[in-house]
């Protein structure tokens, strides 16, 4: 799925060593379906050449406001008129200061001032420059002018120091630009999500788990952040990266067992929507061995099972009786091998929740594709097979309407 299809992006590059990453950024934006028009400042051309950017973007690069090849010699007006967004990466301290004052002494600053579209900046500078009061003033003014800042991040810098001011990675900038274009029906809402499998220890090296990859839950987390929510993700053991982490709109608790997942979820009950996407083990081992269980000839160990708490059931109960708190809209998930619609609806009623989402088909585990059946009080509706992120976005829009 290309999340930036038909979007026209002006990619501005100012002078900073992070400019070498703009080449990769241009590639990623194009991969997502955007058309990219690069505009470089004079200083940017000291770090990366227009030829490189032209080859990657497939468009001639603009470097001067005196370019006579543009109709009426008005490149700044033409470019900002046709763009869906101007993204400047890296945005140097100098460029941010100029933009915050409305200065327009080269093509990039001029087209920002003349723009009729959103402006997003990915700052990149040495940590002293980022922490300087003058930069703070620039950031405050730019924020007031509705300019979106993507990052910066903290970490090792080209100058050898470690601290705030690193440009976000191209993949993070791309994720955030995609998020920027999504509708925001969950702005101001809190969303809690369980995702992934759980692992029930038998002894220090063995355990019982399941085939859940966590991809659906993580896709819902990403779609919820994109929709403007503050998200808390309670994740079972899976090695997926937290989506849109650099936005600061998502937090994560990693857990292993169902009991830990239950405790972490109960710690975060103050939410507007709860998605129970995790494949929680129904039973744990009553007394996991502290030492590795040795083989005893042909005799197999006697494992005693104990039922795990039902996180979704408890969540629906607790919050409903919690005075003064808004009732979170609880969404359960169901993976059944037979008669999905009936089992899922029965599950919805038994758990006392308004919506259950059924995973159709046996190939959902680990796949990027899925097909969902939405079941609520009004009946059931099949969603077309699609990428999990696309389904997650549709589901978020649907739930947003319910609340």
Residues forming the site for ligand C5P (CB under 6 A): 194, 258, 276-278, 280, 308, 310-312, 332-334, 347
- Give the whole-angstrom CA distance, residue 15 versus residue 94: 9
User: Distances from the Cα of 194 to the Cαs of 42, 206, 265, in angstroms?
Assistant: 49, 23, 8
- Residue 375 near residue 208, CB atoms below 8 Å: no
- Residue 279 near residue 259, CB atoms below 8 Å: no
Question: Between residues 85 and 277, which has the closer beta carbon with respect to ligand C5P?
Answer: 277
Residues 6+ away with beta carbon under 8 Å from 379: none
CB of 289 to ligand C5P, least distance (A): 23
User: Distances from the Cα of 33 to the Cαs of 135, 322, 394, in angstroms?
Assistant: 34, 46, 20
CB of 195 to ligand C5P, least distance (A): 9
Question: Between residues 109 and 194, which has the closer beta carbon with respect to ligand C5P?
Answer: 194
| Angle at CA of residue 316, ends 365 and 360, nearest 5° | 25
Question: Between residues 62 and 329, which has the closer beta carbon with respect to ligand C5P?
Answer: 329
Verify cis geometry, omega within 30 degrees of 0, for the bond prior to 152.
yes
For residue 156, what are the β-bridge partners? 162
CB of 193 to ligand C5P, least distance (A): 10
Instruction: Write out the two tokens for 312.
Output: 């979704």
- Give the whole-angstrom CA distance, residue 127 versus residue 212: 41
Pick the catalytic residue from 112, 159, 238, 330. 159
Question: Between residues 181 and 283, which has the closer beta carbon with respect to ligand C5P?
Answer: 283
CB of 235 to ligand C5P, least distance (A): 12
Among 204, 208, 237, which Cα is nearest to 303's? 208
238 a catalytic residue: no
- Give the whole-angstrom CA distance, residue 235 versus residue 151: 25
CB of 352 to ligand C5P, least distance (A): 12
Question: Between residues 111 and 285, which has the closer beta carbon with respect to ligand C5P?
Answer: 285
Residues labelled as active-site residues: 159
């Amino acid at each position: 799925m290309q999340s930036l299809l038909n979007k026209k992006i002006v990619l501005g590059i100012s002078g900073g060593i992070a400019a070498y990453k703009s080449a990769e950024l241009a590639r990623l934006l194009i991969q997502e379906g955007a058309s990219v028009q690069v505009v470089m400042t004079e200083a940017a051309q000291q770090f990366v050449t227009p030829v490189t950017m032209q080859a990657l973007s497939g468009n001639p690069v603009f470097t001067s406001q005196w370019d006579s090849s543009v109709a009426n010699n008005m490149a700044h007006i033409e470019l900002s008129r046709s763009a869906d967004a101007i993204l400047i990466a890296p945005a140097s301290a100098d460029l941010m200061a100029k933009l915050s004052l409305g200065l327009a002494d080269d093509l990039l600053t001029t087209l920002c001032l003349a723009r009729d579209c959103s402006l997003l900046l990915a700052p990149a500078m040495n940590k002293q420059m980022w922490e300087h009061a003058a930069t703070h003033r620039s950031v405050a003014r730019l924020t007031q002018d509705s300019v979106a800042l993507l990052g910066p991040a903290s970490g090792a810098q080209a100058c050898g120091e470690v601290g705030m001011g690193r440009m976000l990675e191209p993949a993070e900038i791309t994720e955030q630009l995609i998020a920027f274009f999504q509708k925001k029906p969950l702005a101001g809402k809190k969303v809690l999500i369980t995702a992934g499998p759980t692992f029930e220890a038998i002894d220090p090296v063995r355990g019982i788990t399941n085939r859940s990859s966590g991809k659906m839950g993580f896709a819902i987390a990403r779609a919820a952040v994109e929709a403007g929510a503050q998200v808390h993700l309670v994740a079972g053991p899976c090695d997926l990266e937290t989506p849109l982490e650099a936005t600061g709109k998502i937090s994560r608790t990693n857990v292993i067992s169902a009991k830990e997942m239950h405790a972490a979820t109960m710690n975060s009950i103050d939410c507007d929507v709860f998605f129970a996407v995790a494949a929680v083990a129904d039973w744990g081992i009553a007394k996991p061995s502290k030492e590795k269980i040795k083989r005893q000839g042909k005799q197999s160990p006697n494992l005693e099972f104990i039922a795990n708490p039902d996180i979704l059931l408890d969540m629906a109960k607790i919050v409903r009786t919690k005075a003064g708190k808004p009732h979170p809209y609880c969404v359960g998930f169901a993976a059944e091998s037979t008669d999905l619609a009936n089992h899922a609806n029965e599950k919805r009623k038994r758990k006392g929740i308004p919506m259950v989402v059924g995973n159709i088909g046996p190939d959902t585990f680990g796949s990027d594709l899925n097909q969902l059946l939405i079941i609520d009080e009004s009946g059931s509706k099949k969603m077309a097979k699609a990428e999990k992120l696309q389904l997650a976005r549709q589901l978020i829009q649907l739930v947003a309407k319910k609340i």
